[in-house]
Amino acid sequence: MKCAVCARQARGYGWFNPHLRPNDPNRYSDQWVFCSCRCQYAFSRVMEKTEGQMIDPSDMELAAMKSCLSPLGEYVGSVGMQRPLADYSRDEVLTLIDVVVTAYKVCMTAEHERMAVRDRAFFEDHLARQERSGSKGDAP
């Protein structure tokens, strides 16, 4: 079992959703296990803030995660596909993190820029229609 927060080996720390009744099967999950009080506490703080609702990633976030696969695969291929992560040097792990985080941010930024362009086009079109209908009313 892996810690639900940091993915280290879980060590008997668990969590249940106190917002749900004891007979509700969603009250407990065997995935809510943790390596330490620290991870257990971090998880319970998130669950308190979200009132027991896990936050699913948005479609944009899912797309950004998928955009990391190719750069991640390329990097792992360059390091050596057969090497286990535990054999990576510190610099190799940091580069792996940088590759993934950068790919994620690039995708999220590009998607937000596309949304901004789309929103701007919508509002410009909306304003142009208002001006056209306004000028028709004023025409003699």
Q: Would you count residue 6 as binding Zn ion (CB under 5 A)?
A: yes
- Single-letter amino acid, residue 23: N
Q: State which residue, 36 or 95, has the beta carbon closest to Zn ion.
A: 36
Sign for the CA dihedral angle at 34, 35, 36, 39 comes to negative
CB closer to Zn ion out of 39 and 64: 39
The interface region with Zn ion, picked from 12-20, 29-37, 83-91, 123-131 by CB under 5 A, is 29-37
Length of the chain: 140
- Choose which of 3, 33, 47, 64 interacts with Zn ion (CB under 5 A): 3
**Cα gap 68→97, rounded to integer Å:** 10
Q: Based on CB atoms, which residue is closest to Zn ion, 5 or 107?
A: 5
Kindly list the distances between the CA atom of residue 50 and the CA atoms of 5, 16, 46, in Å, as whole numbers in the listed order: 16, 14, 6
Examine residue 35 and tell whether it contacts Zn ion (CB under 5 A). Answer: yes
**5 contributes a contact to Zn ion by CB under 5 A:** yes
Q: Determine the number of helices (DSSP H) and then strands (DSSP E) in the chain.
A: 4, 2
CA geometry: angle 66, 7, 64, nearest 5 deg: 15
Fill in the DSSP letter of residue 81. Answer: T
CB 16, min distance to Zn ion, A: 17
Q: Which of 15, 32, 39, 68 binds Zn ion (CB under 5 A)?
A: 39
State in angstroms the smallest separation of the CB of 30 from Zn ion. 16
4 in contact with Zn ion (CB under 5 A): no
Helix, strand, or coil (residue 56) = coil
Residues in touch with Zn ion (CB under 5 A)? 3, 5-6, 35, 39
